[in-house]
Amino acid sequence: MIINQFLLLGAALFSIGVYGVLSRRNAVLVLLSVELMLAAVNINMVAFDRLNQDVMAGGQVFALFIIAVAAAEVGIGIAIVLLIFRNRRSANVDELDLMKL
């Protein structure tokens, strides 16, 4: 196994996630794309951890913290989406155009 196969997989998933954030209109789908980006970060973190042979397992611990924070973020995100939906029956980002840019 060479290290770059893991790194390139992570980079590919991250780029796909960025594409999703930029191209999606539905708030839930944007959030899913962000989760994809975080998964890519985790793959890279763990791969680098193994590459560096970190005695303190810093990369793996960081991945665990990222998972915890991502779960909290999703909780808030779904709550906000629910709030929006209750107010205006839609979860699409750019239908929310009360204010112009």
Partner 1 sequence: MFFAVTVGDWLGEVENWVFAVLAIAMVYAAIRVVTTKNVVHAALFLVIALGGSAAIFLLLGAEFVAWTVVMVYIGAVIVLFLFGIMITRAPLGYETKLSHPRRVRIGAALASGALFLLIGGAMLDAFGDDPVPAAIDPTRTSDIGQSIFERFVIPFEVVSFVLLAALIGGIVIARQDPTVEEEEVLQ
Partner 2 sequence: MENIAFLPIGPEVILLIGAVIVLMAAVTLDQDRRDWGVVGAIALLVAFLLSWAQWLRLDYLERGQELAFSARGVESIHMPMVVMDRFSAFAGVLIFLIAFLALVGNWGLVKTLGKRGAEYVALVLLAAAGLHMMVISSNLILLFMGLETASIALYVIAGFARVERNSDESALKYFLLGSFASAIFLYGIALVYAGTGSISIYGSGGILAFFSSQPVAVLEVGILLTGIALMIVGLAFKVSAAPFHQWAPDVYQGAASGSVSLMAAGVKVAGIAALARVLMGAFPSRIDDWAPIIALLALLSIIVGTVGAIGQGDVKRMLAYSGVAHAGFMLSAFVAGVGGIPSIWFYLATYAVQLVGAFTVVSLVSGVRSGASPFDQYKGLFERSPWVAMAMATFMLGMGGIPFFAGFVGKVGVFGAAMSAGYTWLVAAGLIASIAGLFFYLRIVVLMFFEAPVMAEAPGTATAAPRLAGGAGFVIALTAGLTILFGIIPWPLLNIVKNAL
Residues that bind partner 2 (CB under 8 A): 7, 10, 14, 17, 21, 27, 30-31, 34, 37-38, 40-41, 44-45, 48, 51-52, 54-56, 58-59, 61-62, 65-66, 69, 72-73, 76-77, 80-81, 83-84, 87, 93, 96, 98-99, 101
Report how far residue 28's alpha carbon sits from residue 82's, in angstroms, rounded to the nearest whole number: 10
Element at 57 (helix H, strand E) = none
- The residue (of 55 and 100) whose beta carbon lies closer to partner 1 is 55
Grouping H, G, I as helix, E, B as strand and the rest as coil, residue 61 is helix
User: Of 16, 22, 17, 34, nearest to 81 (Cα)?
Assistant: 34
Pick one of partner 2, partner 1, none as the site partner of residue 99 (Cβ within 5 to 8 A by kind): partner 2
Report how far residue 1's alpha carbon sits from residue 74's, in angstroms, rounded to the nearest whole number: 34
Which residues, 50 to 69, sit near partner 1 by CB under 8 A? 50-51, 53, 56-58, 60-61, 63-65, 67-69
